[in-house]
Chain A
């Protein structure tokens, strides 16, 4: 290790960097926009909070309302909407609190933990969305499949078990695609952070 000690002299004797910025350059930099991962996490998270709810705006409301009335789904959709809104507000509050905690002045470990915690809130939000979509899906299927209008439309001899299997399969497939897409996005964004965090925690 003696050679390494000698390297300290080499290190200490290094002159100024070949790249050097003037005060004018630094003034310019101060006013530039950050492109830090935290900014991207914030942007992507806001999209993740907003996008699932945008689906509602682009649906044909009259047709949807008629469908709800036909199948007597009004009260059940109202119930789920209220629950969903309360939960969203809760998630946004926790996300914002975690986000505000992120500081470049923390220790490396605390900063990594705080960023990952912020991201985790959105991860749970996505999982919540997938779970609630599955619950609502199955609930609505059960109401629709047992309604007279639906049964009347079925041809004689239709096996209800097959109808159920197809419906649940399509539901699972849709949710799985969403989950896979999310995992890829999440994996790319946090690869470096997760790697550094586990490296830091080794032997702790």
Chain B
């Protein structure tokens, strides 16, 4: 694979990395696991990248590969993720000064998502991202009717967790 392709991939991924972080935060409950899953998703995205033809949006394609990795391919590993750490520390500082009502709500939402099963997590994320049932059924590989049934159940479950 050419260096050029690699550069293009890294630039696009860096720009869109929040998508992967949303998936990682939903499917893991520690920073180490979050980073490990991010690493695995990156590897899977890179492996699939030469075949990416741009038929779907880069972000949609990223969601698809990220869900597949989190639901089917990921196995916890003991590899150490070495990062520059600059961003982590920077964000921690910002966090301390920040009005917390929005962040608190977001934390609760993520906690609720984490308590769902793997398939429901994907459904919840796709719902929050306002994806159509057609797109959801396409990502999961199930019928639109089943996607609706599952989505209703997931929404009910989320609601119960958030408003006991």
User: At the interface, yes or no: A59 with Cβ under 8 Å from chain B?
Assistant: no
How far apart sit A13 and B159, CA to CA, in the bound complex (Å)?
A: 20
Q: For A40, what are the chain B residues with a Cβ–Cβ distance below 8 Å? A: 75
In the assembled complex, the CB of A48 is this many whole angstroms from the nearest CB of chain B, namely 18
| Chain A stretch 27-83: residues in CB contact (< 8 A) with chain B | 27-30, 32-38, 40
Chain A contact residues: over half helix, strand or loop, or mixed?
Answer: helix
Q: Are A108 and B10 in contact (CB under 8 A)?
A: no
Q: For A196, what are the chain B residues with a Cβ–Cβ distance below 8 Å? A: 71-72, 117-119
Q: Which of B31, B77, B88, B117 contacts A35 (CB 8 A)?
A: B77
Q: Which of B18, B48, B75 contacts A36 (CB 8 A)?
A: B75
Q: Are B140 and A108 in contact (CB under 8 A)?
A: yes
Q: Are A22 and B159 in contact (CB under 8 A)?
A: no
User: At the interface, yes or no: A20 with Cβ under 8 Å from chain B?
Assistant: yes
A87-95, A99-107, A121-129, A131-139 - the one binding chain B: A99-107
A4-12, A152-160, A162-170, A175-183 - the one binding chain B: A4-12
How far apart sit A27 and B1, CA to CA, in the bound complex (Å)?
A: 14
Q: Are A104 and B69 in contact (CB under 8 A)?
A: yes
For chain A, which range describes its interface: under 10, 10 to 19, 20 to 34, or 35 or more residues?
Answer: 35 or more
Chain B interface residue count, Cβ-Cβ cutoff 8 angstroms: 76
Q: Are A32 and B43 in contact (CB under 8 A)?
A: yes
Q: Are B38 and A21 in contact (CB under 8 A)?
A: yes
Q: Are B155 and A1 in contact (CB under 8 A)?
A: yes
How far apart sit A193 and B69, CA to CA, in the bound complex (Å)?
A: 11
In the assembled complex, the CB of A103 is this many whole angstroms from the nearest CB of chain B, namely 7
User: At the interface, yes or no: B61 with Cβ under 8 Å from chain A?
Assistant: yes
Known: A22-B83, A110-B141, A112-B71. 16 other contacts (CB 8 A): A3-B162, A17-B17, A18-B88, A20-B17, A20-B91, A27-B10, A30-B10, A30-B46, A36-B73, A37-B73, A40-B75, A103-B51, A108-B119, A108-B122, A111-B73, A200-B119
| 29 contacting pairs across A/B (C-beta < 8 A) | A3-B159, A3-B163, A4-B155, A8-B130, A11-B109, A16-B18, A18-B88, A19-B91, A20-B21, A21-B83, A22-B84, A24-B84, A29-B81, A30-B9, A36-B40, A36-B69, A37-B72, A38-B73, A40-B75, A104-B48, A104-B68, A105-B48, A108-B140, A111-B73, A112-B72, A196-B119, A199-B118, A202-B150, A203-B150
Chain A residues near B (Cβ < 8 Å): 1, 3-4, 7-8, 10-14, 16-30, 32-38, 40, 103-112, 115, 192-193, 195-196, 199-204
